[in-house]
Amino acid sequence: MAMLTRSLVSASIPFLRGFSSAATSFLKTGDVLKRARIFTSEEVLDYSKVSHDSNPLHFDSESAQNAGFEDRVVHGMLVAGLFPKIISSHFPGAVYVSQSLHFRSPVYIGEEIVGEVRAINIREKKNRYLAKFKTACFKNGSVVIDGEAMAILPTLAMEEENTL
């Protein structure tokens, strides 16, 4: 235990530079990190260009409605991109190892989505930390995407979320 504590303290020192307070939060099992986001038509178009996914469900309301949707649908993988954003904004240098996803409900352009990652297991491995997270995105309190992610964290010291 003393070695883990020493490791946590030494790992957090670089992240204390530049902060006015020495109070640092450390990730522990059960912690939840969240981020809200509204996806725009421009973001869907940009994602389509990068991913080469030009399915008309994302661009044409009539096509989307003919397929049983209310309107144009945001790419599921674009929405799932909230998970690595949440993790990397608190742990710069984190390495995303895996992600499982279950798409439960559509996300429409202009809807507010809340992404959430919950630490469910953390273990030290070679002066780094392997963290397993339960991941979920919510729309009006209902799950639209869920799954699990694994990431290698350089430290358990959490930085304030950057918005870049």
The model's confidence at residue 36, banded by pLDDT at 50, 70 and 90, is: very high
The model's confidence at residue 8, banded by pLDDT at 50, 70 and 90, is: very low
Instruction: Give how far Cα 117 sits from Cα of 55, 80, 98, Å.
Output: 29, 11, 14
pLDDT of res. 13:
33
Decide if pLDDT at 125 tops 90.
no
What percent of the chain clears pLDDT 90, i.e. is strictly above it? 80
The model's confidence at residue 161, banded by pLDDT at 50, 70 and 90, is: low
Decide if pLDDT at 108 tops 90.
yes
Give the chain's domains with CATH numbers. Answer: 2-16+24-158 (3.10.129.10)
Residue type, 128: R
